[in-house]
Amino acid sequence: MTVTKKIGRPRSFDYDTALTQAMTVFWEKGYEGASMRDLTAAMGITGPSLYAAFGDKQGLFLKTVDHYCASDACTPLVVLEAEEDIGKALHAFLADVIRSATEHESGAKGCFLASSVVSSAGQVDGIAERLNAVTADAESRLTARFEKEVAKGVLPPDFPARERASMLFDLRQGYMFRGRAGWPAESMIAEIPGRVRLLLTG
């Protein structure tokens, strides 16, 4: 007897694009404010397709957070790590943060995590753990970037790498907040040289 495995119908939509569209809805309306009708309309799929591909609303929300953390949230860090000159690296990092806060391709402003996701911590299982993990990873990578300059002799041996990493992370969050509030990118960009000098002062 031959057993034939039933093959499901292939998806008629792009998974990552649908996630980005769902993220935009959550970004604008928050977890509680985003209805399933809002989500399916933005994603261009039916309710059954959404459940089949992403699970329920909570599962979809967690997947959008993971998608953001794996892409947008890391972009400034990649820029920081790619530039050899620490001054230029810090400038590029902050400029990329400001660009992301004011010119995101989705049309949303600010940081998805700080603007929308954080308000659901304690209400949606799995969010607090994700926020703690992404914060710890970011501060670890920022610290390592300063420590690299200490090892090269560019920064003094007693340079407070971890403290400056925390300061840089807080600056990032501040710019994201200001971007969400509608501050013009030009005024924030103009502040960067002073911020860089502050970060590198021993």
Residue of higher predicted confidence among 102 and 94 = 94
Band the pLDDT of 71: cuts 50, 70, 90. Answer: confident
Render pLDDT for 8-58 as a digit per residue (tens, 0 to 9): 444 567 898 999 999 999 988 999 999 999 999 999 999 999 999 999 999
pLDDT tier for residue 105 given thresholds of 50, 70 and 90: low
CA gyration radius, the chain? 20
Within 8 A by CB and 6+ apart from 44, the residues are 13, 18, 21
What is the average pLDDT score of the chain? Answer: 88
pLDDT band for position 180 (cuts 50, 70, 90): confident
pLDDT at 75: 79
pLDDT of residue 107: 59
Least confident of 39-43, 91-95, 114-118, 138-142: 114-118
